[in-house]
Amino acid sequence: MAHRWTNRLQAADVTPEALWLNRRAVLGGLAGLGLVGAGSARADALEPNAWEDITRYNNYYEFGTDKGDPARNARMLTTAPWTVRIDGLVDRPGDYDFADIMAQMTIEERIYRFRCVEAWSMVVPWNGFELADLLALAGVQAGATHVAFETVLRPDEMPGVRYPVLDWPYVEGLRLDEAMHPLTIMATGIYGRDLPNQNGAPLRLVVPWKYGFKSIKSVVRITLTDKEPPTSWNKANAREYGFYSNVNPEVDHPRWSQATERRIGGGLFSSRVPTLMFNGYAEEVAGLYTGMDLKANF
């Protein structure tokens, strides 16, 4: 399977691993005080286990709604063995074993350096493979127009699902052409290591031109369908979260502006910079939305 996309971002553009690890401290304002900087936070001084523990600023509501909950609670999640059910409008529906998937996908070392943006932004190196290659294993049928995703639901291992903050299991969706785009990947690693559980082990979606909540974690089911699938955040609050969720500085969230972002690692007083249309990937993906009103389809 050919690597269809070439990194425009170079290794030098990547947010230093130490800043990514310490993003809680960085976002908490310590960076502004100069207490955490590219040189002062040392990832290489950490024990390997400590690394697992230290990504402490996550959204993964199945483990709790506090940003620190996933790092505390996600260690309970069993991620091996793991199967992904691929069903719906495919030629070869079935339960695909994660180890088998990896054996077929890791033909070459693949690193995807992607910008990611919420109120802050970073450049993160993911390991993984194109979603299109996974869908090819199952054989997408002609009638399919959309792809639905589902996260594992294990009340025994996920303390957060006792609370009805979202309608469990967590679900997400893409249009088929979005799903087949070479920028849409299933990530299995980050900074050259396996994904920590709190970041969605063993595999999670990454769609770099969309806001972070589209990146559904710990995926166990992928369904090809001919309807727009429901998404967890849209079900929870349709006024604030649309199906598309494309990064768009011209469309404000009802409660905040989305025009600027704070770049982590952008210097001592990481200043706000304008957010780019489609998170800087307009050249690659704007064509998917030709003729669409992106204010109405937010």
Contact residues: ligand MTE, CB under 6 A: 58-62, 118, 151, 170, 199, 212-213, 215-217
Nearer to ligand MTE, 151 or 270 (CB): 151
Closest CB 4 distance from ligand MTE, rounded Å: 24
Nearer to ligand MTE, 18 or 89 (CB): 18
Nearer to ligand MTE, 159 or 212 (CB): 212
Closest CB 254 distance from ligand MTE, rounded Å: 16
Q: Where are the beta strands (DSSP E) in 72-198?
A: 83-88, 94-97, 111-117, 120-130, 146-151, 171-175, 185-190, 193-194
Closest CB 124 distance from ligand MTE, rounded Å: 9
Closest to 219 in 3D by CA, of 34, 83, 73: 83
- Alpha-helix runs per DSSP H in 174-289: 176-180, 232-236, 282-285
Q: Give the C-alpha separation, 176 to 222, whole Å.
A: 12
Burial label for 91, CB within 10 Å (0-12, 13-18, 19+), is: exposed
Q: Give the C-alpha separation, 238 to 232, whole Å.
A: 10
Nearer to ligand MTE, 5 or 213 (CB): 213
Closest CB 157 distance from ligand MTE, rounded Å: 13
Backbone phi, psi, residue 210, to 5°: -115, 160
Nearer to ligand MTE, 61 or 129 (CB): 61
C-beta nearest to ligand MTE: residue: 212
Closest CB 204 distance from ligand MTE, rounded Å: 7
Could you tell me how many residues make up the chain? Answer: 298
What contacts 297, CB < 8 A, 6 or more positions away? 242, 243, 244, 289
In the block, residue with structure tokens 């290591």: 193
Q: What angle do CA 64, 174, 167 make, to 5 degrees?
A: 30
What single-letter DSSP state applies at residue 155? T
Closest CB 118 distance from ligand MTE, rounded Å: 6
Nearer to ligand MTE, 58 or 73 (CB): 58
